[in-house]
Amino acid sequence: MKIDRIETTLYQVPLSTPIQAASTSVMRAFDMILVRVVDSDGATGVGYTVLHAGQGGAIATMVEKSFVPLVSGDDPRCIEAIWKKVWRTHHYVGRGGVVSFALAALDTALWDLRGRTLNEPLWRLLGGHQANVRAYAGNIDLNFPIEQLLDGATRSREAEFESIKMRLGKPTLSEDVSRVAAMRKHLGDDIELMADANEAWR
């Protein structure tokens, strides 16, 4: 079994509601790079990575121009060997950024291919023992005023989520505290409330 071909597709996905984290500007769309690995038997695995709009071209190019020539013909079942090969070959470019985003999409596609080939769900293939995991709602963003935060939380509760995540990182700590207090009061004590400061704090 060999990697027969690797296809990349770049999409730009508009957001109906702009979102923001403390470490980023307001995001009105995002780029999604889809990587499809096809083996010599015709089986396919799909992986993807997402980032801000306008940045996906570099990721797609890294996969197409650097990764494809490097791993074409390799055994797609040797996922760790492929990962190490790509990582070692590109470490001089940087151990993060474009390389990591591109490698994540390829690696995910290889794992998806492996699961499909074996007709096993990925959670079990990786040694998991539970078919179900808890899910949380994360549709609550830093650029939303408190009223919009609470409205989003209400919709999440109506969808029967029992865990909700909000973002922190306003210019002052008092703003974050008031937003958390409003959310906790709105949700009551039985709902798990999580927070993500997105590198905003010292």
pLDDT tens-digit profile of 61-84? 999 999 999 999 999 999 999 999
Kindly report the pTM of this predicted structure. 0.82
| 14-28, 30-44, 161-175: least confident range | 14-28
pLDDT, tens digit, 9 for 90 and up, residues 138-182? 877 888 999 999 999 999 999 999 999 999 999 899 999 999 999
Mean pLDDT (the chain, rounded): 93
Residue 24's pLDDT band (cuts 50, 70, 90): confident
Whether 6 has a pLDDT exceeding 90, the answer reads yes
Q: What would the DSSP string read from start to end of the chain? A: --EEEEEEEEEEEEEEEEE--TTS--EEEEEEEEEEEEETTS-EEEEEEEEETT-HHHHHHIIIIIIHHHHTTS-TT-HHHHHHHHHHHHTTT-SSHHHHHHHHHHHHHHHHHHHHHHT--HHHHTT---S-----EEEE-TTS-HHHHHHHHHHHHHTT-SEEEEE---SSHHHHHHHHHHHHHHH-SSSEEEEE-TT---
